[in-house]
Structure 1
Amino acid sequence: MNKKWVYYLGLILVSIIWGANFGVSRSAMETFDPILFSFLRFGLAVPFFFLILRIKEGSVGMPWRVVLQLALIGLVGITGLEIAVMYAIKYTTLANASLLNVAPWPIFAALFAPLFVKEKFTRRLAVGGVAAIIGVTFVILGGEEGLDLSSGHMTGNLLAFGASLVGALYNLSCMPLMKTYSSLRISTWFIFFGSLFMLPLTVGSWSKVDWSGLGTGDYMAIVYNVLVCTVIAFVLWNASMFRIGAARSNFFRYVVPATAVVAGLVFFDEGITIWQIVGTVCMAAGLVWISTEKKPPQSAVNN
């Protein structure tokens, strides 16, 4: 099998993990404050990142100039982005938040990619991207909530759309650094700073949790978020994104809402409509079309 398929499968696997986390995290919100749960996810992952980095590469240090860059990336891409998405979900419908956050993200990544890396926006990428966008729109709007653009949801809508733009730029800002440092080293440091900046925002939330009364499901949600959704998923996504290219990789985020629909069925007995099935097929076709382009977007280097 052509080695590039390993990285495409990595992107799909991570998107499935993140999509399934919709159900896991939604259940956990009954016990934890959203910001506190986000901090637990990233803060508890930091020691694992540093340990793995030390074992794999023999050191954990970074030049101060790069550390400052990663501090800014962590502040924007972890602290700011996670909080923006969380409040977007709070102030608008789930369908609005999903569509306005997920759908524009790959488009912004494709448009701004030339500013960060040498990637071409090809005709195949455009055609596959349009098919994937149509598909994910059917997946999200085909549910019971649909799209609601009333003024009462405008704050959440703007937060979701803004998070999409910031998220794409945050992804792209990591790409030049990955030419010099491994994706593991980059992920370790920006997640460390993102967690550090998030910590003060959790003041007052710790005392609201009945820590002695936590059940097995609560602990499983934390473990899934820390080890699977963060440690494994971030390293795998960044490594795959570097090999495949930011523009193509971000279109695979469209697998997230499709998986979230399945998670809704499993966790909350939510139904799946025919439009959502049609959308999933259309989205899958678009992603297959993108991934079958013969010429890679950039030459791979040892990472």
Structure 2
Amino acid sequence: MPTEQSRILARRHYLTGLAIALVGAILFSTKAIVAKLIYRYNVDAVTLICFRMAFSLPIFAAIAIWQMHKSGSLSKADRWRLVALGLVGYYLSSFLDFLGLQYISAGLERLILFLTPSFVLLISAFFLKRAVSKLEWTALLVSYLGIVLVFFHDLKLGGEYVMLGSALVLGAAISYAIYLIQSGQLVQRLGSLRLVSYAMCVSSAACIGQFFILRPASMLVQPLAVYSLSVVNAVMCTVLPVFMTMIAVKRIGAATASQAGMIGPVSTLFLGAYFIGEPITSWQLAGTVLVMGGMYLLSRKKT
């Protein structure tokens, strides 16, 4: 029988893990707000993502080197898999996401990205022949109805560019879903810390290389505010959320950490209203509730 002291410690351990998951989800969602602030300085998506990954690369590279010394070298096959995962899961997904953010609200962007688990389900169903239950189909229907509500609301305000931005962010969510599906075996074999640090190094190299191919080096000269916001984007909205989520999963499990992540779309709505003046309407709130409700049903599915 557990003692009262052990129950108190276990409860504290759980609440600490939950708090870490919540803060991590909020910080990760804040990247949309920071990106919107950077765009005010006429910085494009190619330059924005270059700064983001350049400032986060030293941290991920240090962790990758530590993991390399700790766990040894990778097989040739695993190296190629990591390169592919880094390009699809972090480079392509991030680039499409920040490109889309130029055209749509931070709230809509966060809701579309929040559908990533549903795309994992659909890809598994249609390509991997995984059976989908009635509860899962219901969850998808509810979630997509919420996206439709917010999409048509934003379409009235933003016109044709909302469709373009939504399509780009949708591509980001789908590419990250592909990453999640393909990374399953590697995570079991390499561990999440090693996989993420290696994949982020690949992504960083691609983002920085892309900049020098597509943009003149003179575009690296930006106002001080762009550098400051890029550091926030790299450290507070990229590096910290990645590791906070990993810590939370270890403490409270993946399912609970995933449910805690539902605070992300809500926090984006209110942060967007506070920092960049995006309006909060009843349509957005209704769509957010539907998307979160659908994802909650999906997370409660017994596996």
Q: For 1:118 and 1:58, locate their aligned partners in 2 and report how far apart those are by CA, in whole Å.
A: 39
Deviations 1:7-26 (A, max 9, x none): 77766544422322222111
Query: 1:131 deviation in Å?
Result: 3.5
| 1:1-303 matches, cutoff 5 A | 12-31=22-41, 32-52=43-63, 59=70, 61-90=73-102, 92-94=103-105, 98=109, 101-102=112-113, 105-113=116-124, 121-139=132-150, 141-142=152-153, 145=156, 148=159, 150=160, 156=165, 158-203=167-212, 204-211=215-222, 213-215=223-225, 218-237=226-245, 244=254, 249=258, 255-292=263-300, 295=302, 297=303
Read off the aligned partner of 2:49 and give its amino acid letter. S
1:135/1:281 contact within 8 Å kept:
yes
Whichever structure has more helix as a proportion of its residues is: 2
Change (3 A) 1:145 1:225: farther
Say if 2:147 and 2:287, in contact at 8 Å, map to a contact too: yes
Residues 234/115 of structure 1: CA separation in 2 closer, same or farther (3 Å cut): farther
Q: TM-score by structure 2 length?
A: 0.72
| Cα pair distance change 1:288/1:15, threshold 3 Å | same
Q: Is the contact between residue 128 and residue 289 of structure 1 (CA under 8 Å) also seen in structure 2?
A: yes
1:50 Cα offset (Å) = 3.6
- The alignment's C-alpha RMSD in Å is 4.2
Gaps of 5+ in 2: 1-10
The percentage of aligned residue pairs carrying the same residue is 20
Preserved CA contact (<8 Å) 2:150 2:284: yes
Q: TM-score, normalised by structure 1?
A: 0.72
**Residues 166 and 280 of structure 1, relative CA distance in 2, 3 Å threshold:** closer
- Whole-angstrom distance in 2 between the partners of 1:115 and 1:42: 34
SS in 2 for 1:62: coil
Structure 1 residues 164, 54: CA separation in 2 closer, same or farther (over 3 Å shift)?
closer
| In structure 1, distance between residues paired with 2:260 and 2:149 | 16
Aligned partner letter, 1:66: D
Q: Secondary structure in 1 aligned to 2:240?
A: helix
With over 3 angstroms needed to count, the CA separation of the structure-2 counterparts of 1:8 and 1:107, relative to structure 1, is: farther
Contact 1:183 1:239 in 2 (8 A): no
Say whether the 8 Å CA contact 1:177–1:186 is kept in structure 2. yes
Unaligned stretches of 5+ residues in structure 1: 298-303
Q: 1:269 aligns to what SS in structure 2?
A: coil
Equivalent-residue separation in structure 2 for 1:10 and 1:134 (angstroms): 30
Q: How far is 1:274 from its partner?
A: 2.0
SS of alignment partner, residue 279 of structure 2: coil
The offset of 1:130, in angstroms, is 3.7
- 8 Å CA contact 1:23, 1:267 repeated in 2: yes
